[in-house]
Structure 1
């Protein structure tokens, strides 16, 4: 293996991750500009943190090849640090876009959801559930909204076989599925629930289940009925609301799959012109 210093030149910091910084870097041989996630091993609190990190690397290598997943190009390690060299996405993340736009037009939200479901459907067919979908983990490849998204942060991902259940409370407040919070075994449709929450937030600027603390949010997810308050939803189509209802069904058997979301009339009608170009 070539030496790390010879391969890459690190430049400015462009973000912070759970275990360290993310810096822009240049491959000194090809000139390609990448993102480098730098993990300081001393910052890994326990074996679970290390397992999460190794899981992300293994999963990214396994699901590589789909344009909707951020590409892991190289990994370097020494006694103190681990460097993950990844595709650079210059358009920010979906959380930034929501803060900037406040609310998405339905056609814009449908394009994002179509691309997200195409990627999640690919992962599910490969036997991988992301389990931590949220706007922060959905990146834009460039500043142009029309460009592709990339799903990142597979540290909580899990592999499964057809019909196999998963377990463990993972995910992020606001986006975690009800069955996960109930401590039940669950399947890959936890990702559909998370995507449904993301769609709700994109269209209205508010979460469907709210609270001042994580515990209050979890209680709202478990107890509250899905609502579409008039002040935020009056001008949004019935078809959009129908899709969200079907993505946020508590009955997992009736909750849509990724392919069924893609076939919903709201996605088809709002994306037909964009994807015909």
Structure 2
């Protein structure tokens, strides 16, 4: 249900998505007729303090990060007793998750997507913000085909002298081992998750899996990164090198977003090149 204040500025259209705490609708600006997405969150569905904190943080974080070509931008906000409504960039209905399901991605295509994803994450990390739920479902595309990171509902600021966060937040297949272990962690949890996204783009399957969340977490903790020959037969050694440096259990050795952007495979757009 769109508030009257919102209807004064935006014309409601059809529902385009539904999530845990509400719905996403397409709206048109009453003045320009430009289309936007309206994310309506029902506060009554927020069950605990963590959910409420994320609700309060999301618009603040998105406002701080806007604008950036690879981050979904927030344009307006309306709040009432029971709802919070965010006016966001309107993206295509097909996410990276849908693209992976539909067809295999070539290395140049995967490298292009990874360059844009890491550019957006590097921007977040420069502000001390960690997304905490990087996965194909949260990676969108605008109508020009540009990749945009969305859904900052789990994002938070790094705090303290060491710049850390805590809490078991994320999606089992993509969550970093230090998160599962319950230790304080930093922005490199996003790099681990992005590495898993890259693995899935190239292989069509995640590197760590199980029948349920507990089994997946156990596989993540083992961190036994493998490249089965039947799947990675045609994947370059350069791509595998980058995967090892992103999906690395030793956080001190794991690449940062900026380091990923400087990796030869990214710089060469996924083309095969000799490694030193």
Corresponding residue SS for 1:180: helix
C-alpha contact (below 8 Å) 1:93/1:139 kept by paired residues: yes
1:14-29 matches, within 5 Å, as: 14-29=16-31
Determine the C-alpha separation between the residues in 1 that align with 2:58 and 2:244: 31
- Kept after mapping to 2: 8 A contact 1:13/1:21: yes
* 2:7 aligned residue (5, 8, 12): 5
Tell me, yes or no, if the aligned pair for 2:54 and 2:156 is still in contact at 8 Å.
no
Query: Tell me, what secondary structure is at the counterpart of 2:251?
Result: coil
* Contact 1:105/1:203 (8 A) holds in 2: yes
Q: Does structure 1 retain, via aligned residues, the 8 Å contact 2:110–2:270?
A: no
Counterparts of 1:246 and 1:224 in 2: how far apart (Å)? 13
Matched residue, 2:222: 223
Aligned match of 1:275: none
What value does the CA root-mean-square deviation take over the aligned residues?
A: 1.6
Q: Greater shift after overlay, 122-131 or 190-199?
A: 122-131
**Partner residue in 2 for 1:61:** 63
Q: 1:205 to 1:125 in 2, by over 3 A?
A: same
CA distance in 2, matches of 1:122, 1:205: 28
Number of residue pairs matched? 267
Unaligned runs of at least 5 residues, structure 2:
272-276
Could you tell me which residue of structure 2 aligns to residue 105 of structure 1? 106
Q: Distance in 1 between matches of 2:17 and 2:49?
A: 25
Counterpart in the other structure of 1:188? 187
Alpha carbons of 1:271 and 1:209: their partners in 2 closer, same or farther (altered >3 Å)? Answer: closer
Is it true that 1:177 corresponds to 2:179 in the alignment? no
CA distance in structure 2 between the partners assigned to 1:198 and 1:229 by the alignment? 17
Deviations 1:201-226 (A, max 9, x none): 00010000011101110001012411
Report the Cα distance in structure 1 between the residues aligned to 2:105 and 2:149, rounded to whole angstroms.
Answer: 19
Measure how far apart 1:91 and its partner are. Answer: 5.2
Unaligned runs of 5+ in 1: 273-277
Distance 1:54 1:210, change over 3 A: same
Q: 4+ residue stretches of structure 1 with deviation over 3 A?
A: none
Farther-moved stretch of structure 1 (30-39 vs 83-92) = 83-92
**CA distance in structure 2 between the aligned counterparts of 1:118 and 1:5, rounded to whole angstroms:** 35
State the alpha-carbon separation in 1 of the partners of residues 118 and 186 from structure 2: 16
Partner of 2:154: 156
Q: Distance in 1 between matches of 2:38 and 2:164?
A: 34
Could you tell me which residue of structure 1 aligns to residue 259 of structure 2? 260
Shift of the 93–9 alpha-carbon distance from structure 1 to 2, 3 Å rule, reads same
| Cα contact 2:131–2:155 (8 A) shared by 1 | yes
Contact 1:17 1:37 in 2 (8 A): no
Q: State the match for 2:137 in structure 1.
A: 136
Indicate the larger mover: 75-84 or 239-248: 75-84
C-alpha distance in 1, partners of 2:167/2:75? Answer: 30
Q: What is the aligned partner in structure 1 of residue 125 from structure 2?
A: 124
TM-score, normalised by the number of residues in structure 2: 0.92
Q: Distance in 1 between matches of 2:59 and 2:254?
A: 30
What is the match of residue 209 of structure 1? 208
